């Protein structure tokens, strides 16, 4: 672990609880969802001026709660990287927004809503960002159907061809 | 068996109006740029000096659908792009043709998932499919020439209103 990161991590742990882990020099801290805004405020105050990644992982069906939302902060001045992880349950998943702290979180949170269906409360403009506006479902969830069309082989080519939607005009 | 046989070699040729129109259509077919992915690189290569598609009257790639009569769909079409593609197709004046270039445009290719249209023939009617991932410029030119054969054989009655 970077020497400069230790006091910041210790302070965050004391204030917000949570468990820290390190993998190949990357430090991540698991924080309960209720404290994430305060934690982000504190992280920003410590000099992490950049939210370099805001993404999520779906651990369904192995883990419960199934989602982990991952906030990755970078401090350009101190050359440090810090990751916060927030477990979010699968039923009505929601988190408070941090788009008032880091402005780029606006689009990132829209992407998370689009792809995982995690609602960010207090977000100014929570619409789909990647998929068409009338899309149903959230494609990066593990229980979302993977394929869209059955592959055609020689033995079932005709059968599948019959029910393919071809454009007439 | 036309009038030129009776009159001798007078520099006159006779033909039907249909054939003359088909000839003029095939010798100045302006394709619309619709490069969506890596196939577009091969399409550009087919246009450039080495393969030189202008030999077949196609030196102009029109960025505007109003001025083009051939749409070369080069690359994968995402579900979000499909309405745009259909709109551009609707804006092209008749008669119009579509070449589906490459595996992704023809059948979805390796992208069998929620985001990609499984064959552009779900959105627009396709005249010629060019296989390959991506197809070489020769293959695209072969597809274009195949389309020319089709257009040359067309009767006025067959062409859509």
pLDDT score of B160 more than 60: no
To the nearest whole Å, the CA of A140 is away from the closest chain B CA by 10
Residue A80 belongs to a domain: yes
Q: Which of B95, B106, B113, B131 to mutate to test the interface with A (most CBs of A within 10 A)?
A: B113
Q: What is the DSSP string of B71-120?
A: EEEES--BTTTHHHHHHHHHHSPSS-EEEEEHHHHHH-TT--STTB-S-G
d(CA B88, CA B32): 9
Write the pLDDT tens digit of every residue in B117-152. 888 988 999 999 999 989 999 999 999 999 999 988
To the nearest whole Å, the CA of A148 is away from the closest chain B CA by 5
Confidence bin at B55 (pLDDT 50/70/90): confident
Residue A153 belongs to a domain: yes
pLDDT score of B71 more than 70: yes
CB distance from A132 to chain B under 8 Å? yes
d(CA A131, CA A149): 18
Residue A132 belongs to a domain: yes
What's the pLDDT at A53? 94
Closest residue in B to A161 (Cα–Cα) = B107
Q: Which residues of A touch B79 (CB under 8 A)?
A: 131-132, 135
pLDDT score of B161 more than 60: no
Return per-residue pLDDT of chain A as tens, 169 residues.
Answer: 788 899 999 999 998 888 888 988 889 999 998 899 999 999 999 999 999 999 999 998 888 889 999 999 999 999 999 999 999 998 899 999 999 999 999 999 999 999 999 999 999 999 999 988 888 889 999 888 877 777 778 888 888 888 877 877 6
Q: Which residues of B touch A141 (CB under 8 A)?
A: none
Residue A60 belongs to a domain: yes
Residue A146 belongs to a domain: yes
State the CATH number of the domain containing residue A135: 3.30.460.80
CB distance from B124 to chain A under 8 Å? yes
Q: Which residues of B touch A166 (CB under 8 A)?
A: 121-122, 125
Range of weakest confidence among A28-32, A151-155, B9-13, B110-114: B9-13
Q: Are residues B80 and A167, on separate chains, in Cβ contact within 8 Å? A: no
Q: What residue numbers bound the domain in which A102 lies?
A: 5-163
For A148, the closest of B118, B121, B123 (CB atoms) is B118
The count of domains in chain A is: 1
Residue A130 belongs to a domain: yes
ipTM of the complex: 0.72
Instruction: Name the pTM for this structure.
Output: 0.79
Largest Cα–Cα separation, chain A: 67
| Strand pairing class (A80-88; A67-75) | antiparallel
d(CA B37, CA B130): 15
Nearest to A116 by CA among A98, A135, A142: A142
B52 neighbors B145 (Cβ within 8 angstroms) = no
Residue A168 belongs to a domain: no
What's the pLDDT at A72? 95
Average pLDDT, chain B: 86
Residue A169 belongs to a domain: no
């Amino acid at each position: 672990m970077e020497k400069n990161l230790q006091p910041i991590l210790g302070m965050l742990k004391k204030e917000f609880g949570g468990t820290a882990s390190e993998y190949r020099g990357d430090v991540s801290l698991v924080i309960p969802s209720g404290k994430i805004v305060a934690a982000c405020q504190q992280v920003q105050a410590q000099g992490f001026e950049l939210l370099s990644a805001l993404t999520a992982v779906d651990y369904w069906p192995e883990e419960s709660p199934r989602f982990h939302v991952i906030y990755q902060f970078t401090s350009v001045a101190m050359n440090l990287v810090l990751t916060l992880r927030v477990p979010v349950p699968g039923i009505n998943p929601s988190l408070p927004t941090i788009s008032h702290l880091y402005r780029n979180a606006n689009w990132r949170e829209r992407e998370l809503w689009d792809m995982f269906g995690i609602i960010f409360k207090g977000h100014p403009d929570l619409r789909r960002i990647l998929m068409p506006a009338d899309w149903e479902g959230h494609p990066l969830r593990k229980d979302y159907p993977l394929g869209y069309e059955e592959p055609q082989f020689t033995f079932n080519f005709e059968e599948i061809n019959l029910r393919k939607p071809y454009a007439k005009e | 068996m036309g009038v030129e046989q009776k009159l001798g070699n007078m520099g006159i040729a006779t033909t039907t109006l249909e054939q003359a129109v088909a000839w003029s259509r095939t010798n100045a077919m302006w394709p619309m740029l619709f490069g969506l992915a890596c196939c577009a690189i091969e399409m550009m290569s087919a246009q450039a000096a080495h393969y030189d598609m202008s030999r077949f009257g196609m030196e102009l790639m029109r960025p505007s659908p109003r001025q083009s009569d051939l749409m070369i769909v080069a690359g994968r079409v995402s579900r979000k792009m499909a309405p745009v593609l259909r709109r551009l197709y609707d804006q092209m004046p008749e008669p119009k043709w579509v070449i589906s270039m490459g595996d992704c445009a023809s059948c979805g290719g390796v992208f069998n998932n929620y985001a990609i249209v499984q064959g552009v023939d779900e959105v627009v009617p396709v005249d010629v499919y060019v296989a390959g991932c991506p197809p070489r410029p020769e293959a695209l030119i072969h597809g274009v020439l195949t389309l020319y054969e089709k257009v040359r054989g067309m009767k006025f009655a067959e062409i859509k209103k």
